[in-house]
Amino acid sequence: MREVAVLGIGQTSIDEHWEKSLRELAGEAVLASLQDARRESVDGVFVGNMMSGSANHQQHLGALVADWVGLRFVEAIRTEAACASGSAALRAAMIAVASGAMESAVAVGVEKMSDSPGPEITSALATAADADYEADQGLSFVALNALIMRRYMYTYGWKHADFAPFSINAHANAVNNPYARFHEPITADGYLRASMICDPINLMDASPMGDGAAAVVLVPAETIRFQAKPLITLAGSAAATDTLAIHDRVDPLWLSAAAASASRAYAMAGVGPEDIDLFELHDAFSIMAALSLEACGFAERGQGPRLAQEGGIFPTGRIPIATLGGLKARGHPVGATGMYQIVEIVEQLRGQAGKAQIDGARVGMSQNIGGSGSNIVTHILRAS
Amino acid sequence: MREVAVLGIGQTSIDEHWEKSLRELAGEAVLASLQDARRESVDGVFVGNMMSGSANHQQHLGALVADWVGLRFVEAIRTEAACASGSAALRAAMIAVASGAMESAVAVGVEKMSDSPGPEITSALATAADADYEADQGLSFVALNALIMRRYMYTYGWKHADFAPFSINAHANAVNNPYARFHEPITADGYLRASMICDPINLMDASPMGDGAAAVVLVPAETIRFQAKPLITLAGSAAATDTLAIHDRVDPLWLSAAAASASRAYAMAGVGPEDIDLFELHDAFSIMAALSLEACGFAERGQGPRLAQEGGIFPTGRIPIATLGGLKARGHPVGATGMYQIVEIVEQLRGQAGKAQIDGARVGMSQNIGGSGSNIVTHILRAS
């Protein structure tokens, strides 16, 4: 496989974009990424999206997006892996460019959730879980995560307040991200007083919905080695699945697919957790941030909250996470999230993250989680 | 890119499978393909599906299928390109194996449509069209095809009866396919007397829904060159998009994306239309069979029905199509169709097509159409 580089990035703000349609959001991000890459076209378009069939009565987003941005007759498909749909698009695009099947590709994640009533979105989100054995029993997606968090608190002896640093860090960092949904810092007291959604998950443990799109342009690294400064490559890329339903897992408190995909990505990039300068993880719920840190080797099993409390996750800590707000405060437009993570890592590696800049960032990692840990995609980006 | 071979195939019958769930259908086809390939596992699972989010309240089919067949921790995603979702899965799997990212993969197409009421399926099918500019104007998917067929008849002077050979051929061939939805031959008189659905498309111009799944196992050709007899390779593979909405096309009677993907596939395989022994095309509606034959170089523009009337599409004709029933009589479980086409071509190239066998078949082509011609995937398989 050829080494693949990120040549351009683009994103929309995350918001309730009543004035923009699904195609307009995707188009805005794709065209921005092409402009950033100084390219007029690409050979392929890979669209990550989870729920446009339900939320927008529109599927076939490969053709929709290619058509809308004027890339007539290119190859284009949609990838879907629930909440990991965005990074699944990136990985498919990377493999296509690495294989030689294409000389360039754009991967875009897009989701437009505001158009649908809340109950329909709750129903659409539940399609990420097991329809027959979880959703049909009345479990919403937040309820699944609440079960995991409650069990984690019971097993490892954590209190709800111990998870506060995840949300405080995310909101503090989002203040410096102009594309983020929220720009207000929160306090430990505010965290504790937030409305309960599904015990023990309260409003400050849960990421917000939103509409948005983020895109990157990929090319073979060899074609831009002497022009891109810095050259940013996809040094590691891997995906792994686990059981769809939580009850089938040997240990519901261990993200086996996260561990598997991270270890494959580490091996491909020739690095370990100690080499990662920042980690854009999937903090859809604060419990998922803890579990992801543990599965990827940044904290001992059951000790994610301790790492957070000791400040290890802050911008100046050992492993900064959610450096531009994360899912919690940047926002979580489901199928777009994986691409926002990548775009933000590129901003960090380019030194373009403004007040959110992580000093000396050279290696960044993303992890995008589909379902309750059922499909997990990890990428490692390196600047040289 | 490494050359990729098809090592195993599997399929379910197409029917109203009230007794089997979505995962059971997919699992049956995947396990049959693994057994046929004499493999116990693969590195990746690619699931082509269009409408399970609506029809089965289940997305995340990569994880669902990998979990159900016991392939724990493998990589797995779903691809969606409307009615071309199945062959989009094959192409993604092929690129992954060709790139070296994987040593083996299974591509499976699955759709379970019987679980949903008819109006919901009609609504789900319309998500393949342009939601804002076609479906919102009241156009169902069959109505879009009716517009194309009416315009074609007007432009080229064909009568409705002139399309009869497409349906007669498909139904005659399905008699010999144990997996097909229908096993009854039809007559020219029966074709003309069929109920009108959306003028000029009647029941015998339209393919039937159904539940089903079809799968293939892919490996690098070099790993089985001396063991597989015959060795069946994916000699050509290409995809191309066109405008999502028909009204944006320069000529709505010319499938530009079909022509583009076919010419790329021909170039990759080093063949032309004259080298193709059989053609599994996308006869979702009889007008699409005509347009596909023309775009791929088997008939002059506007002359698809003439080729059919002259017998050129029959098993003994110049370019046999729908050799095991096609979408019209084998059935069209939307996201599965592209994979049924591939499985059937492999049966033909292996000489395992029974009474439907095309004598001396060595090179077979498939073409899978998403939307009204918006996303078209072409594959050429060669036996050696």
User: pLDDT tens across B46-71, in order?
Assistant: 999 999 999 999 999 999 999 999 99
Which of B45, B59, B254 to probe the A interface (max A CBs under 10 A)? B59
Cβ pair B127:A241 closer than 8 A? no
Which of A21-25, A115-119, B153-157, B168-172 has the lowest average pLDDT?
A115-119
Of the listed B17, B160, B332, B379, which one is catalytic? B332
All CATH 3.40.47.10 domain ranges in chain B, comma separated:
4-117+210-223, 130-199+235-383
Whether the Cβ atoms of residue B371 and residue B128 lie closer than 8 Å to each other: yes
Query: Which of A56, A61, A77 best tests the B interface by mutation, with the highest count of B CBs <10 A?
Result: A77
Q: Closest chain A residue to B250 measured between Cα atoms? A: A72
Give the amino acid at A93: A
User: A120 to chain B nearest CA, in Å?
Assistant: 11
Report the candidate in A323, A281, A365 with the shortest Cα–Cα distance to residue A173.
A323
Assess whether pLDDT exceeds 80 at residue A221.
yes
Q: Name the closest residue on chain A to residue B67, using Cα atoms.
A: A243
pLDDT of residue B217: 98
State the helix-helix crossing angle for B334-350 and B85-99, rounded to 10 degrees. Answer: 60
A308 touches chain B (CB under 8 A): no
Residue A228 has pLDDT above 80, yes or no: no
Rounded to whole angstroms, how far apart are CA atoms A160 and A146?
Answer: 11
3-state secondary structure of B230: coil
pLDDT value for B200: 98
Average pLDDT estimate for B256-272: 98
**Do A47 and A79 form a contact (C-beta atoms < 8 A)?**
yes
**Residue B39 DSSP code:** -
The candidate with the shortest Cα–Cα distance to B332, out of B212, B157, B166, B200, is B212
Q: For A71, list phi and psi in degrees, rounded to 5.
A: -90, 75
Beta bridge partners of A363: A382
Contact B63 A88 (CB under 8 A): no
Nearest-Cα residue of chain A relative to residue B130 = A58
b/e string for B108-146 if b means 16 or more Cβ within 10 A? bbbbbbbbbeeeebebbbbbbbbbbebbeeebbbbbbbb
Q: How confident is the model at residue B229 (pLDDT cuts 50, 70, 90)?
A: confident
Summarize pLDDT for A77-105 with one digit per residue, the tens.
999 999 999 999 999 999 999 999 999 99
What is the C-alpha separation between B328 and B166, in angstroms, rounded? Answer: 9
ipTM over 0.95: yes
pLDDT category of residue B226 using cuts at 50, 70 and 90? confident
Decide the pairing of beta strands A4-11 and A212-220: antiparallel
How far, in Å, CA of A301 to CA of A293, rounded? Answer: 9
Q: Output the six-digit token pair for A257.
A: 């697919």
* B245 interaction partners in chain A (CB closer than 8 Å): 67
Task: State yes or no: is B296 an active-site residue.
Answer: no
The residues, ordered by sequence, that sit 6+ positions from A253 with a Cβ below 8 Å of its Cβ are A148, A151, A152, A155, A291, A301, A302
Q: What is residue A80's three-state secondary structure?
A: strand
Top-level class of domain B4-117+210-223: alpha beta
Catalytic residues of A: 83, 332
Question: Residue B221 and residue A239: Cα distance in Å, rounded?
Answer: 24
d(CA B194, CA B175): 19
- Please tell me whether the overall predicted TM-score, pTM, comes out greater than 0.95 for this model: yes
Nearest CA in chain A to B100: A1
Q: Is residue B266 a contact partner of residue B380, using CB atoms and an 8 Å limit? A: yes
Partner residue facing B60 (CB), from A92, A96, A370: A370
Question: CB B60 to CB A74 under 8 A?
Answer: no
- Alpha-carbon gap, residue A165 to B151, rounded angstroms: 64
Pair A110, A32: CB distance under 8 Å: no
Question: Dihedral angle at the C-alpha atoms of B189, B190, B192, B193, nearest 10 degrees?
Answer: 110
Interface of B with A in 320-379 (CB under 8 A): 370-371, 374-375
Please tell me which of the candidates A53, A72, A98 has its beta carbon nearest to residue B53.
A53
Q: Do B241 and A131 touch (CB under 8 A)?
A: no
Mutate to test the interface with B, among A244, A246, A250, A261 (most CBs of B within 10 A): A244
Query: Residue A157, exposed/middle/buried by CB under 10 A (0-12, 13-18, 19+)?
Result: exposed
Quick one: closest CA in A to B44, which residue?
A: A240
CB-based contact B83:B334 (threshold 8 Å): yes
Interchain proximity A260–B73, CB inside 8 Å? yes
Tell me: pLDDT of B375 over 90. yes
In chain A, which segments carry CATH 3.40.47.10? Answer: 4-117+210-223, 122-206+235-383
Q: How far is CA B154 from the centre of its chain?
A: 28
Say which residue the tokens 């190239």 belong to.
B349
Cα(A90)–Cα(B231) distance, rounded to whole angstroms?
Answer: 32
- Please enumerate in sequence order all residues whose Cβ is within 8 A of that of A249, keeping only pairs 6 or more positions apart, or say none: A242, A243, A256, A373
How far does the CA of residue A203 sit from the closest CA of chain B (Å)?
26
What are the pLDDT digits (tens) for A331-372? 999 999 999 999 999 999 999 999 999 999 999 999 999 999
pLDDT in tens, B126-184: 999 999 999 999 999 999 999 999 999 999 999 999 999 999 999 999 999 999 999 99
B67 touches chain A (CB under 8 A): yes
Which of B17, B83, B198, B379 is the catalytic position?
B83
Q: What fold does the segment set A122-206+235-383 form as a domain?
A: Peroxisomal Thiolase; Chain A, domain 1 (3.40.47)
CA distances from A154 to A139, A150, A159, A200, A323 (A): 20, 6, 9, 11, 29
What's CA A95's distance to the chain center, in Å? 19
* Phi, psi angle pair for B358, to nearest 5°: -90, 120
> Cβ contact (<8 Å) for B241 and A100?
no
The pLDDT value recorded for residue A284 is 98
pLDDT band at residue A323 using 50, 70 and 90 as cut-offs: very high
Using the beta-carbon criterion (under 8 Å), do A241 and B132 form an inter-chain contact? no
| Alpha-carbon span B20 to B34, nearest angstrom | 20
Q: Which of B78, B128, B256 sits opposite A73 (nearest CB)?
A: B256
Tell me whether residues A50 and B73 touch, CB distance under 8 A: no
Structure tokens at A299: 């904290």
pLDDT of residue A161: 98
Q: Sort out which chain B residues have CB atoms less than 8 A from A132's CB and list them.
A: 21, 23, 58
Radius of gyration of chain B (CA): 19
pLDDT in tens, B308-352: 999 999 999 999 999 999 999 999 999 999 999 999 999 999 999
Give the bridge partners for B375, in sequence order: B241, B370
Chain A nearest-CA distance from B103, in A, is 13
CA–CA gap between residue A38 and residue A7 (Å, rounded): 9
A131 touches chain B (CB under 8 A): yes
Q: What is the largest CA-CA distance in chain A?
A: 57
Tokens matching residue B117 = 């009421």
Number of A/B CB contacts below 8 angstroms equals 212
pLDDT value, residue A227: 80
**Quick check: B276 contacting A, CB < 8 Å?**
no
Supply A69's token pair. Answer: 């941005």
- Which residue in the block uniquely carries the two structure tokens 């269009």? B50
Pick the residue with more confidence: A347 or A227? Answer: A347
Report which of A212, A213, A186, A191 is spatially closest to residue A201, judged by C-alpha positions: A191
Nearest CA-CA partner of A43 in A1, A109, A108, A106: A106
Cβ contact, residue pair A370, B63, below 8 Å: yes
Residues of chain A positioned with their CB less than 8 A from the CB of B3: none
Are A110 and A48 in contact by the 8 Å Cβ rule? The answer is yes
Contact between B230 and B7 under an 8 Å Cβ cutoff? The reply is no
Extract the tokens encoding A366: 């993303």
Question: How many angstroms separate the CA atoms of B40 and A57, rounded?
Answer: 39
Q: What percent of chain B is modeled with pLDDT above 70? A: 100
Question: Which residues of chain B have a CB within 8 Å of the CB of A248?
Answer: 67
Provide the pLDDT for residue B129. 96
| B131 part of contact set with chain A, CB < 8 Å | yes
* pLDDT above 90 for B227: no
The shortest C-alpha distance from A75 to chain B (Å) reads 4
Q: Residue B225: is its pLDDT beyond 90?
A: no
Neighboring chain B residues of A66 at a CB cutoff of 8 Å = 241
Among A27-36, A113-122, A325-334, the minimum mean pLDDT is found in A113-122
Inspect the interface and report whether the beta carbons of B60 and A82 lie closer than 8 Å: yes
State the pLDDT at residue B367. 98
DSSP string, B275-287: G-SEEE---SBHH
φ, ψ of residue B375 to 5 degrees: the values are: -150, 110
Mean pLDDT, chain B, as a whole number?
97
**φ/ψ (deg, to 5) at B196:** -75, 135
What number does CATH give the domain B130-199+235-383? 3.40.47.10
pLDDT at B184: 96
Q: Which of B47, B137, B244, B246 to mutate to test the interface with A (most CBs of A within 10 A)?
A: B244
- Distance between CA A258 and CA A304 in Å, rounded? 14
Distance from CA of A132 to the nearest CA of B (A): 9
Measure CB to CB from residue B241 to each of A56, A62, A371 and give the nearest one. Answer: A62
Band of pLDDT at residue B199, cut at 50, 70 and 90: very high
B135 touches chain A (CB under 8 A): yes
